[in-house]
C-alpha cells in the first residue's frame, strides 16, 4: 500500500511525461504520414525470337529468357544512374545525392516470369507522378537496345496514412505504465535498503 502512495504522489509528473512523449510521437507520425506512392507494372515479352535452321527457340526458353530479363529489370530500375536520369526526364531536382536515398524512392519486385511491379514514392503527389513518368520514359529508351518489349501499365497513386492519434495514445500509455513501474521499483529498492 505504501508503494501506491508513492505512485499517487508522482502521478502528475508521470502524466506530464507520458503526455510529452505522446505529443512527440504525434508530431513524428504526422511528419512520416503523407508520402504518396505511385504503383505500376511492367509486362515483359520477347519482341523477336531467334530463328536458325539448326535450332528452334521454343516456348520454354522464351519464358526463361523473359523471367531472367524481369529479374534484371527489377534490379535495373533501382540503380542510381537510372533514377538520376528519371529525375531529369521528369523535370525534378534531386532531393539528395546519396545513392541510398535515391534507391529508397523506388521499390521493384518480380511477381511472375513476365511481370515486374514498381512502386515510386515522393513527398507530394506531383513529385511522385513525375518521377514515375520519368522512370517509365527512361526505361523504355534503355530497353529498346534489347530484344524485349516492356509495356508499363497505367499508374495509380495512393497516399500513405499513419494513424497518428493511435500511435500517440499508445506511446502515452506505454510511457505512463513504464513510469509507474519505475516508481514502484524505486520504492521497493528503497524499502529493501532500509
- Residue carrying the nine cell digits 516508481: 183
Judge if 40 and 133 occupy the same domain: yes
pLDDT at 194: 64
Judge if 21 and 98 occupy the same domain: no
Judge if 155 and 176 occupy the same domain: no
Q: Nearest 5°: phi and psi at 149?
A: -115, 130
Q: What CATH number did the domain enclosing 114 receive?
A: 3.30.70.1130
pLDDT at 93: 86
Judge if 62 and 153 occupy the same domain: yes
Judge if 54 and 83 occupy the same domain: yes
Judge if 54 and 6 occupy the same domain: no
Judge if 109 and 176 occupy the same domain: no
Structural domain count, the chain: 2
Judge if 22 and 39 occupy the same domain: no
Residues of the chain with pLDDT under 70: 1-3, 33-34, 47-59, 194
pLDDT at 58: 62
pLDDT at 57: 57
pLDDT at 96: 75
Judge if 60 and 135 occupy the same domain: yes
* Pick from 43, 68, 35, 46: nearest CA to 139: 43
Judge if 112 and 172 occupy the same domain: no
Report residue 169 as a C-alpha cell. 495514445
Over the stretch 77-95, which tens digit does the pLDDT of each residue have? 888 888 888 989 989 888 7
> Residue 109: which domain range?
34-159
pTM check: above 0.75:
no
For residue 167, what are the CA distances in angstroms to 28, 29, 172, 174?
10, 7, 9, 11
Judge if 9 and 90 occupy the same domain: no
Q: What burial letters (b/e) apply to 132-171, b meaning 16+ CB within 10 Å?
A: bbbbbebbeebbeeeebebebeebebeeeeeebeebbeeb
Judge if 125 and 185 occupy the same domain: no
Amino acid at each position: 500500500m505504501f508503494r501506491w502512495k508513492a505512485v499517487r504522489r508522482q502521478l502528475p509528473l508521470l502524466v506530464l511525461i507520458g503526455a510529452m512523449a505522446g505529443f512527440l510521437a504525434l508530431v513524428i507520425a504526422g511528419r512520416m504520414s503523407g508520402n504518396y506512392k505511385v504503383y505500376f507494372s511492367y509486362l515483359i515479352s520477347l519482341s523477336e525470337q531467334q530463328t536458325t535452321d539448326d535450332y528452334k527457340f521454343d516456348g520454354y526458353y522464351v519464358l526463361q529468357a523473359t523471367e531472367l530479363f524481369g529479374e534484371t529489370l527489377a534490379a535495373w530500375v533501382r540503380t542510381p544512374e537510372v533514377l538520376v536520369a528519371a529525375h531529369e526526364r521528369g523535370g525534378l531536382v534531386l532531393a539528395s545525392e546519396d545513392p541510398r536515398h535515391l534507391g529508397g524512392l523506388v521499390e521493384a519486385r518480380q511477381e511472375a516470369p513476365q511481370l515486374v511491379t514498381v512502386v515510386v514514392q515522393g513527398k507530394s503527389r506531383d513529385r511522385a507522378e513525375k518521377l514515375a513518368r520519368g522512370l517509365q520514359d527512361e526505361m523504355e529508351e534503355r530497353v529498346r537496345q534489347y530484344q524485349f518489349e516492356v509495356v508499363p501499365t497505367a499508374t495509380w497513386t495512393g497516399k500513405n496514412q499513419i494513424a497518428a492519434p493511435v500511435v500517440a495514445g499508445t506511446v502515452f500509455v506505454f510511457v505512463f505504465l513504464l513510469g509507474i513501474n519505475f516508481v514502484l521499483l524505486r520504492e521497493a529498492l528503497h524499502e529493501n535498503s532500509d
